[in-house]
Amino acid sequence: MAAGFWLAVWEAASLAVDLELLLPSPIRVAERLASLAGQADFWTSAGGSMARIFLGFTAALLLGTAGAALSFRLTAAEALLRPVLRIVKATPVASFIILALVWIPSPGVPVFTSFLMVFPIVFENVLSGMHHTDRQLLEMGRMFRLSRAALFRQIYAPSLAPYLSAACATGLGLAWKAGVAAEVLANTRLSLGGKIYAAKIYLETPDLFAWTAVVIAMSVALEKLVSLALRRVLSSCQPEASHADRATSD
């Protein structure tokens, strides 16, 4: 219902403007999207952007979690990382992209940019989740001489689940925005950002809207897939955690 309403508003605005160069109609954009989807170049560009952005996101997820775990155990590690994280959060994304173009080949710039935007979010969420883990459960786990791996699976993982889920949801959106922006500025070949840049240069507004719709759709799809995968991984820890809780309560 809501989607239909906004499509109607879009169509009415397009009719009022009556100039495709400024605002094409939804039907025209859908036609261009269908036409583009029939070309091999479309799928190559979409797959290339997906691979680059997902690589940057995955690297940030792994290294951000590892950095949070290290900082949780060593306050010196957190003290060293905090200034860097503040700089990353305060610096405009465009500045990082332009600097990265000096150091990194064009295809690597979206990977680097996506990583840089997601790393602070993962780090802070995971570290916060570790600090909020129930201390009594940890003491019980140590009392029952659980290994570090068992402590993580049965106590830390269930506690971290909401923090990690929030980090992934926020981080993936930022990864797509920053990654595609990097592709536009770097004019990366065979990428969604490169196609958006070309559509803007040649004033192909329907194509610009169509490629933007692809970016939105892929961002939502990837977010749902990662969220589903994360829930399955973390849910595998739940039965063991529940068993440990029952054992400690007995």
Asked if 171 contacts 121 with a C-beta cutoff of 8 angstroms, the reply is yes
Arithmetic mean of pLDDT, 129-149: 71
pLDDT in tens, 68-113: 989 988 889 889 999 999 998 888 888 989 999 999 998 899 999 9
Stated as kind and residue range, the H or E segment containing 81 is helix 75-90
Q: Which residue has 């590690």 as its token pair?
A: 77
The reported pTM is 0.84
Q: How far is CA 203 from CA 26, 46, 137, in A?
A: 17, 21, 61
Q: For residues 126 and 81, give the distance between their C-alpha atoms in angstroms, rounded to a whole number.
A: 14
**Residue from 160, 154, 176 nearest 248 by CA:** 154
Domains of the chain: 40-133+146-249 (1.10.3720.10)
Asked if 133 contacts 155 with a C-beta cutoff of 8 angstroms, the reply is yes
The single-letter DSSP state of residue 64 is H
Asked if 93 contacts 169 with a C-beta cutoff of 8 angstroms, the reply is no
